[in-house]
Amino acid sequence: MRNIDYKWRVLSCTALGAFISVLDGSTLLIALPTIMKDIKASMSIVTWTIMGYMLVMTILVPSIGRMADMFGRKKLYVSGFIVFTFASLLCSFSQSGMELLLFRMIQAIGGALIVKTVRL
């Protein structure tokens, strides 16, 4: 019975992490006009905020798959969750467009670790 509970916990954690990481790539679109006004960012910075996240994830996913085979999926998943959460916190404190762009790219590193190390 205990083994079944563990499997459901693992499934819940990995599914939640993958969902949040992928969702974060697209939900920013709704809030961008308000963010752009608040931090006085240019349209190019706002565009790169979205595209940078997707670009970093696209570049890192293949190499992270290899790293997961070498170092273990659980370690990379947990470290990805930590990086993603910390970068999300930094994004919320950003005061300029460049800071937001940098923190989103760091967040994408954590998102790539989460997405690629999940094997459902």
Token couple for 24: 């974060």
Given this model, what pLDDT does residue 55 score? 92
Token couple for 6: 């563990």
Given this model, what pLDDT does residue 95 score? 92
pLDDT string in tens for the chain (120-residue length) = 566 677 787 777 777 777 776 777 667 778 888 888 888 888 888 889 888 988 998 899 888 888 888 888 888 888 998 999 999 999 989 999 999 999 999 999 998 888 877 664
Dihedral, 120, 62, 21, 38 alpha carbons, nearest 10: -170
CA dist 111 → 6, 26, 102, 118 (Å)? 24, 13, 14, 11
Query: Quick one: which of 43, 22, 21 has its CA closest to 32?
Result: 43
Token couple for 96: 């300029």
Amino acid identity at 19: F
Given this model, what pLDDT does residue 37 score? 87
Given this model, what pLDDT does residue 73 score? 84
pTM: 0.82
CA dist 23 → 17, 54, 66, 101, 111 (Å)? 10, 12, 24, 17, 10
